[in-house]
Amino acid sequence: MRLILILNAGSSSVKCALMQIDEQGTAHDLARGSIDGLGQNAEFSMRFMDGHPAIKEAMPAGSQISHKEALSLILNTVDRLYGLSSLVAAGHRIVHGGPDFVKPVRLNRTNVDELRKLIPLAPLHQPHNLAAVDSLFELLPNLPQVGCFDTAFHATMPAIARNFALPKALTAKGIRRYGFHGISYNYIAEAFAARDPERAKGRVIVAHLGNGASLCGMINGQSVVNTMGFSALDGLMMGTRAGTIDPAVIFYLMREENMSAEAVEKMLYSQSGLLGVSGLSNDMRTLRTAAPDNSDAKMALAMFTYRVIREIGSVAAAMNGVDALVFTAGIGENDSELRADVIKGIGHLGFTLKTDANEQRDFQISASTHPAAFVMPTNEESLIARSTITLL
Ligand code: ADP
């Protein structure tokens, strides 16, 4: 048995997937799990596709779990159920590859130090992604580890889409758009091309709408524009992130409200978006349930939808039109009302909704065939597993 461990380590959680590689080198889902609440009240859960009973264990209340301890928990489980010797590699989701890491790499101490230099570009994600890599270096020094980057898929963006209109010395220093959610976009680009190769050669907008949300414009499966920019803060309104705002708001808050840079950063990353506007929740499901009797929840939903519609117009304009729109991720895959409202809102581009197909979540959900709209589940873990196998 050959297993790959896929890791997505964040500030408060470590998500993992265990994939089994078959004789042909294809990876299959064996287990998915997470350790949530690393800071306090951590909980380890894992479910298995091969019949092993699910695990759900609460850590002692108030206990702090480090990334290394979280990985030990996962590795102990792998050892107990399958034997640690069956683990042949680990693949990591790493948010920032900067200008140089534009495809998956085998990780070593030297390139991880290079990736550490990118922490200021993604302070809330990169240190935690790398903590998981460092922990595995210590726990299993001989295990090959591969890094896949959320920015890498957007390396094909032309300079006109990539550069800010800032003094060019700053552009040369790497102050530019990188784009994010690239692992998900890469997966969808390949999966869509497998289902509809002709359309995938055209101008495709993929809407990755989860807790984080962005749009990617692709031509022939290559990223040409992304609504996220220098950081994962830009673009659409998100669960707790504001998305695009006038940067003058930041100077104003610092000068007139005496907010520190850290306080503004925290507000824009974790207290804004659906949560900030509704004052209730960052979770679409909670807001949908509350909306009929709660005008703030209703406004949050309306603003989220409006931002998606506006940005689709912008991405379509950047590509001189659109042939297909693909919805993916938690909201994109599950919220039929959002999809219906968006498709109605982009009727001027030629999209019309097929209501029953949308409610049943068929592959194609538009009545219009050109342009047409689709729903596809994303699977970032599968792409990381494939990249890891290919590289090793
Ligand atoms: P992440 O960016 O954390 O990976 P996900 O892709 O899992 O996020 O998406 C999380 C979002 O998807 C949440 O806002 C959640 O409410 C929403 N979501 C999940 N299931 C549904 C559903 N059935 N209807 C509406 N929204 C849903």
pLDDT tens by residue, 205-232 = 999 999 999 999 999 999 999 999 999 9
Based on the domain organization, do 350 and 219 belong to the same domain? Answer: yes
From 109, 124, 149, the end of a domain falls on 149
In this predicted model, what pLDDT tens digit does every residue of 275-326 receive, in sequence order? 999 999 999 999 999 999 999 999 999 999 999 999 999 999 999 999 999 9
CATH of residue 44: 3.30.420.40
Residue 380 Cα to ligand 1 midpoint, Å, equals: 15
Q: What is the pLDDT of residue 253?
A: 98
Task: Give the strand pairing for 27-36 and 43-48.
Answer: antiparallel
Based on the domain organization, do 277 and 335 belong to the same domain? Answer: yes
Based on the domain organization, do 39 and 144 belong to the same domain? Answer: yes
Which whole-number Å values give the CA distances from 3 to 31, 91, 388, in the listed order? 11, 11, 11
Torsion of CA 244, 250, 256, 258, to 10 degrees: 130
Based on the domain organization, do 36 and 113 belong to the same domain? Answer: yes
Q: How many angstroms separate the CA atoms of 359 and 356, rounded?
A: 5
Angle CA 272–277–278, to nearest 5? 120
Q: How many angstroms separate the CA atoms of 282 and 276, rounded?
A: 8
Among the atoms of ligand 1, which is closest to the Cα of residue 338? Answer: 25
Residue type, 227: T
Distance of CA 176 to the CA centre of its chain: 20
Has residue 386 been placed in a domain?
Answer: no
Q: How many angstroms separate the CA atoms of 118 and 217, rounded?
A: 25
Q: Share the mean pLDDT of the chain.
A: 96
Distance of CA 383 to the CA centre of its chain: 12
Residue 333 Cα to ligand 1 midpoint, Å, equals: 8
In this predicted model, what pLDDT tens digit does every residue of 95-130 receive, in sequence order? 999 999 999 999 999 999 999 999 999 988 999 999
Based on the domain organization, do 82 and 208 belong to the same domain? Answer: no
Residue 41 has pLDDT above 90, yes or no: no
Q: Quick one: DSSP state of residue 150?
A: T
Tell which residue, 314, 317, 313, 280, has the closest CA to residue 299: 280
Contacts of 252 (CB under 8 A, 6+ apart): none
Among the atoms of ligand 1, which is closest to the Cα of residue 287? Answer: 16
Has residue 121 been placed in a domain?
Answer: yes
From 149, 182, 215, the end of a domain falls on 149
Based on the domain organization, do 17 and 130 belong to the same domain? Answer: yes
Based on the domain organization, do 144 and 204 belong to the same domain? Answer: no
Residue 44 Cα to ligand 1 midpoint, Å, equals: 20
User: Quick one: pLDDT band at residue 146, thresholds 50, 70, 90?
Assistant: very high
Which H or E run contains 119? none
Q: Which residue's C-alpha comes closest to atom 12 of ligand 1?
A: 330
Q: Which residue's C-alpha comes closest to atom 3 of ligand 1?
A: 211
Q: How many angstroms separate the CA atoms of 115 and 184, rounded?
A: 21
Has residue 359 been placed in a domain?
Answer: yes
Residue type, 14: V
Q: How many angstroms separate the CA atoms of 191 and 185, rounded?
A: 10
Has residue 343 been placed in a domain?
Answer: yes
Residue 334 Cα to ligand 1 midpoint, Å, equals: 7
Number of domains comprising the chain? 2
Q: Is 168 exposed, middle or buried (0-12, 13-18, 19+ CB in 10 A)?
A: exposed
Q: What is the pLDDT of residue 64?
A: 84
Based on the domain organization, do 143 and 270 belong to the same domain? Answer: no
User: Quick one: pLDDT band at residue 59, thresholds 50, 70, 90?
Assistant: confident
Q: Which residue's C-alpha comes closest to atom 22 of ligand 1?
A: 334
Q: Quick one: DSSP state of residue 363?
A: S
Residue 254 Cα to ligand 1 midpoint, Å, equals: 33
Q: How many angstroms separate the CA atoms of 146 and 385, rounded?
A: 9
Based on the domain organization, do 113 and 230 belong to the same domain? Answer: no
Tell which residue, 19, 74, 21, has the closest CA to residue 44: 74
Mutation probe of ligand 1 site: the residue of 16, 188, 334 with most atoms within 8 A of C-beta: 334
> Contact at 8 Å (CB) between 194 and 186?
no
Residue 174 Cα to ligand 1 midpoint, Å, equals: 32
Q: Which residues' Cβ are closer than 6 Å to ligand 1?
A: 210-212, 239, 283-285, 329-331, 334-335
Has residue 336 been placed in a domain?
Answer: yes
Contacts of 59 (CB under 8 A, 6+ apart): 41, 42, 43, 44, 65
| R_g (Cα) of the chain, nearest Å | 21
Q: Which residue has the tokens 């903590």?
A: 131
From 149, 168, 188, the end of a domain falls on 149
Q: What is the pLDDT of residue 11?
A: 84
Based on the domain organization, do 8 and 86 belong to the same domain? Answer: yes
Residue 359 has pLDDT above 90, yes or no: yes
> Contact at 8 Å (CB) between 137 and 125?
no
Q: Supply 201's token pair.
A: 């050669």
Q: How many angstroms separate the CA atoms of 262 and 315, rounded?
A: 31
> Contact at 8 Å (CB) between 337 and 355?
no
Q: What is the pLDDT of residue 123?
A: 87
Strand order in the sheet with 222-226: 222-226, 213-219, 203-209, 324-328, 372-375
Based on the domain organization, do 243 and 114 belong to the same domain? Answer: no
User: Quick one: pLDDT band at residue 61, thresholds 50, 70, 90?
Assistant: confident
Q: Which residues are part of the catalytic machinery?
A: 150
Has residue 169 been placed in a domain?
Answer: no
Mutation probe of ligand 1 site: the residue of 214, 308, 331 with most atoms within 8 A of C-beta: 331
Q: Which residue has the tokens 């001027």?
A: 348
Among the atoms of ligand 1, which is closest to the Cα of residue 211? Answer: 2
Q: What is the pLDDT of residue 37?
A: 87
Percent of the chain with pLDDT over 90: 95
Residue 301 Cα to ligand 1 midpoint, Å, equals: 13
Q: What is the pLDDT of residue 328?
A: 98
Domain of residue 35, residue span: 2-149
Q: Which residue's C-alpha comes closest to atom 7 of ligand 1?
A: 330
> Contact at 8 Å (CB) between 335 and 344?
no
Q: In a 3-state reduction of DSSP, which class is residue 84? A: helix
Residue 329 Cα to ligand 1 midpoint, Å, equals: 7
Residue 241 has pLDDT above 90, yes or no: yes
Based on the domain organization, do 133 and 245 belong to the same domain? Answer: no
> Contact at 8 Å (CB) between 38 and 25?
no
Has residue 277 been placed in a domain?
Answer: yes
Q: What phi-psi label fits residue 361: left (phi over 0), alpha (psi between -120 and 50 degrees) or beta?
A: left
Mutation probe of ligand 1 site: the residue of 183, 284, 339 with most atoms within 8 A of C-beta: 284
Q: Which residue's C-alpha comes closest to atom 25 of ligand 1?
A: 335
Has residue 210 been placed in a domain?
Answer: yes
Q: Which residue's C-alpha comes closest to atom 27 of ligand 1?
A: 331
Strand order in the sheet with 55-58: 55-58, 43-48, 27-36, 13-21, 2-9, 87-94, 145-149, 105-106
In this predicted model, what pLDDT tens digit does every residue of 150-200 receive, in sequence order? 999 999 999 999 999 999 999 999 999 999 999 999 999 999 999 999 999
